[in-house]
Amino acid sequence: MQLSHKPTKAQSLVNFILVSSSFCALYVVVSVLLLGPSNLVRVNNASQSVSIATTLDHLVFGIASSKISWPKRKEYAKLWWNTTTTKGCVFVDSLPDEEHDRNENDTSLPPLCVSQDTSRFRYTHRGGLRSAIRVARVVAETVALHNDSDVRWYVFGDDDTVFFPENVVKTLSKYDHELWYYIGAHSEVYEQNRLFGFGMAFGGAGFAISSSLARILANVFDSCIERYPHLYGSDGRVHSCLAELGVGLTHEPGFHQEFD
């Protein structure tokens, strides 16, 4: 007499695992056949492009100036600007025709851009200059002018800021531009930090914002600075708007101010 055999729970579990594994293997084979080798190559190429080292070509500079200060300070820009390798613009409030012609003929100078009108924004700081709003908006206007996919970092400074572009590239290469970074340094003078904050990058020393963050910041910048009419300077407005996005300063001592 043959006894009936009822599968145990352990045997049922083993059978289930074997069947599931077979389906998974079949799914992988079918997926590879459907994708084909060309699609697999494209995925590999995409991962390789992410690992390409940061170069000067991945940087865009936004420099704040004015009609009055640029003729006096453009010699600073000649020390570091290279028209064949450096991208960006010097933003001024307005520009006489003769100065425009002179700047166009001088290949050692960066191009000049006239800032947009900022009269709609309030400025209530007593004793300050409302030009701080225009200078702060250099961030948004630079992103708008140079919003190419190959831009990794936006670097900002004043017309008397002297950059060493190769050093800037080396410093920023330590960070992932696809993450949100606000990189700079506080002032070397305690009183300046006490007045304006130890967590703020001072614009005169220069600072950098990763492209992923800069594009988000540019989209909300105008609505943000409307909430800060009482602030004194431009860098305070940039810092406040970044703080609203939850981004703090990443300190890099290479960005620094010198005081006489």
Query: Residue 69 sits in a domain of what CATH number?
Result: 3.90.550.50
Q: Which residue has the tokens 């600073």?
A: 76
Q: Do the domain assignments include residue 200?
A: yes
105-135 core/surface letters (b: 16 or more CB in 10 A; e: else): eeeebbebbebeebeebebeeeeeeebbbbb
Q: Do the domain assignments include residue 21?
A: no
3-state secondary structure at position 90: strand
pTM, to two decimals = 0.78
Quick one: pLDDT at residue 32? 42
- Phi and psi (nearest 5°) for 253? -65, -15
Number of domains the chain contains: 1
What is the mean pLDDT of each successive set of 10 residues along the chain, which is 260 residues long? 46 52 50 41 40 94 96 95 96 76 71 96 95 98 95 97 97 97 83 71 90 98 97 95 97 79
Provide the β-strand partners of residue 157: 63
Q: Do the domain assignments include residue 231?
A: yes
Which of 88, 212, 203, 218 is closest to 140 using CA atoms? 218
Start-to-end CA distance of the chain, whole Å, equals 108
Q: Do the domain assignments include residue 183?
A: yes
Element housing 248 (H / E): none
Quick one: pLDDT at residue 35? 42
What beta strand segments (E) does the chain contain?
59-64, 88-92, 112-114, 153-158, 182-184, 207-210, 249-251
Quick one: pLDDT at residue 99? 56
Give the dihedral sign, CA 229/234/235/237. Answer: positive
Distance between CA atoms of 154 and 152, rounded to whole angstroms? 7
Quick one: pLDDT at residue 203? 75
Q: Do the domain assignments include residue 20?
A: no
Q: Do the domain assignments include residue 4?
A: no
Q: Do the domain assignments include residue 241?
A: yes
Q: Do the domain assignments include residue 1?
A: no
Q: Which domain holds residue 246?
A: 56-97+106-251
